[in-house]
Structure 1
Amino acid sequence: MNMPPPPQPPGPYSAPPPGQPAPGPYGVQQPWPQHPYPQQGFAQQPFPQQQGWGMPPMGPPAPQRNRTGLVIGIIAVVLVLLGGLGFAVSKLAGAAGGFPEAKYRLTVPPTLLNGQYTLAQDLSEKSQDGLKNASQADVRDPQAAAGQYSGAKGDGTSLVLSGIYGRVKAPEKQRDSMLRGGRNADGVTVAMPPRDATPAGSDVRISCQVLTKSQGAFSVTFPMCAWGDRNTVGSVGVVSPASAGQKPSDVDVDQAAELTVRVRNEVRRPIGSGSTR
């Protein structure tokens, strides 16, 4: 009689008896021990979900700050600053001697420099209100003339004219006072102190300084030039998006002085002439 072979131990790939788990290559795996505390759902974890090394938590994207908008905002602040400089021009002590005859006045024409700039707003009345309470020791019968002009290119470039006219006893002092008003404005720093320049073909001395106005991480650096004669005192400032982040050493002061002379020649008119604001 042939005897049946003895039972063999199950191999790693043998079928398990019914109702028992299949063994792995290292034997039957025991179930993972249960945690003694109930588990919370994933969304209920006490700490926010991490999204990778160094990644910020998921959420709506932070709004992007528009650089052009910031620059235009700074320009608007500078325009307010420049437009109010007429307030400071007649606060010096009186000079010796009499007052000259009034022969010239300042105008605010609709365009400047062959249409390169167009009048955006006439600031003369606002500046005139400021002159009402100012000392008139060196200026008799002062009248304000101020305006903001927009560049023809439409890139945000603006020119600001700010001045007074009347009978000016100490024109150079008044010119310096106007520049001082710019340096003392809130948030403005002096990048280059005033220096005199007499552009070719001009019979009037121009004084220019370079100022910087900051807002957050951005800044605008621009020249401001002024003149003074026995009837008119005025300043000109040009601000553009290209002024943002500009180095003071890159500002062409001589060019700014020449532009100021050209503006003066257009806005300074004999009294009684047909020019209007």
Structure 2
Amino acid sequence: MTMPPLPSPPDASGTSQQSYTDPETDGPVGRRRGRRTVLIVAVSVAGLLAAGFGVRWMASGPDEYRLSMPDSLLGGSYQRSEDEPPNSEDDAPMGPSGTAAGKVTRVAARYERRSAGTREVLMVTGAYGRFTTPHDRSRTALLSGASAPTDAQAPVPPKDITPPGSDITVSCQVLTRPGDEDARVAMPMCAWSDRNTMALVALVTPDGPQPAPEGIDLDRLAAMTLQVRSEARQPAG
């Protein structure tokens, strides 16, 4: 497979927003809101993985690949945050959906990119093992689980995207969740699945004006997701 060139990260607001200090938030306005938003994403997807989400796996046999969360992603433009999401690595059973009483390993990591007063948060939440569910069904399960909370809306429903130059299809959608002061935070996300690995990649811009969900470039995020896959998916052993 020939990977397409890494695109520049999606521009979430279209303009550079300068942050300022608010004594009531102990830092740039929206910082706490951003932390809460990212935590919601992590808990939602980690909870989905813990429940099993209808994905089947094999209990025995060697894994060919695993997921390893590096210190940076996307060519070093996103740095891993010290503020890790819950259950950043957990080999507890995901649920009763396995073909036998086996285990898979869950992984989750948070990355940040800061530029010109803006902050982008990249969440990667997934698992590795020996999966037997068809890839399209696994991708659908990941996206469905992320949108399961009753306060989530999907203004841009799931669609399959195969980036140019790739033979791998990912599924993408845009969710919105309530933030502070009745504002909704846009959460574009894409999911991949293969025999040994699956993950959901969400990109959040928690500070400043939110983009119109319909204007978010999911083709670009799909290409970024495959680049995350190429950097995090490593041979087992």
> TM-score normalized by structure 1?
0.65
CA contact (8 A) 2:129 2:196 kept: yes
Superposed displacement of residue 176, structure 1: 1.6
8 Å Cα contact 2:29/2:207 also seen in 1: no
Say yes or no: does 1:192 pair with 2:156: yes
1:144 aligns with 2:106: yes
| Deviation at residue 268 of structure 1 after TM alignment | 0.4
* Structure 1 range deviating more: 197-206 or 223-232: 197-206
The Cα RMSD (Å) is 3.0
**Counterpart amino acid of residue 212 in structure 1:** T
Do the aligned partners of 2:94 and 2:103 also contact (CA within 8 Å) in 1?
no
Residue number among 109, 124, 129 corresponding to 2:70 in the alignment: 109
The letter of the residue matching 2:184 is S
| Higher relative contact order (CA closer than 8 Å, sequence separation 6+) | 2
Q: Quick one: distance in 2 between partners of 1:82 and 1:135? A: 23
After TM superposition, list the pairs within 5 Å mapping 1:170-181 onto structure 2.
170=133, 171-181=135-145
Alignment: residue pair count: 207
How many angstroms apart in 2 are the aligned matches of 1:124 and 1:245?
25
Cα distance, 1:240 vs structure 2? 1.3
- 2:194 is matched with 229
1:257: Cα distance to partner? 0.6
Structure 1 residues 270 and 64, CA, compared in 2 at 3 Å: closer, same or farther? closer
**1:188, distance to aligned residue in structure 2 (A):** 1.6
What residue number does 1:87 align with?
47
- Using the alignment, how far apart are the partners of 2:88 and 2:229 within structure 1? 21
**Who is 1:206 aligned against?**
170
**Structure with larger Rg:** 1
SS state of the match for residue 69, structure 2? coil
Is 1:161 aligned to 2:120, yes or no? no
Deviations 1:89-120 (A, max 9, x none): 4231758x998751000011001112101110
Percent identity at matched positions?
28
Residue in 2 that maps onto 1:3? none
Corresponding residue of 1:134: 95
Distance 1:270 1:126, change over 3 A: closer
Per-residue deviation at 1:195? 0.4
Partner of 2:224: 259
Q: Report the residue type matching 2:220 in the other structure.
A: Q
Unpaired runs of 5+ in structure 2?
1-21
SS of the equivalent of 1:195 reads strand
Change in CA separation of 1:124 and 1:217 when aligned onto 2, cut-off 3 Å: closer
Judge which range, 99-108 or 248-257, deviates more.
Answer: 99-108
Distance 1:198 1:133, change over 3 A: closer
Q: Runs ≥4 in structure 1, deviation > 6 angstroms?
A: 63-66, 97-100
Question: For residue 159 of structure 1, what is the amino acid of its counterpart?
Answer: L
Decide whether the 8 Å contact of 2:53 with 2:145 is kept in 1. Answer: no
Separation in structure 1 between the aligned mates of residue 173 and residue 61 of structure 2, nearest angstrom: 28
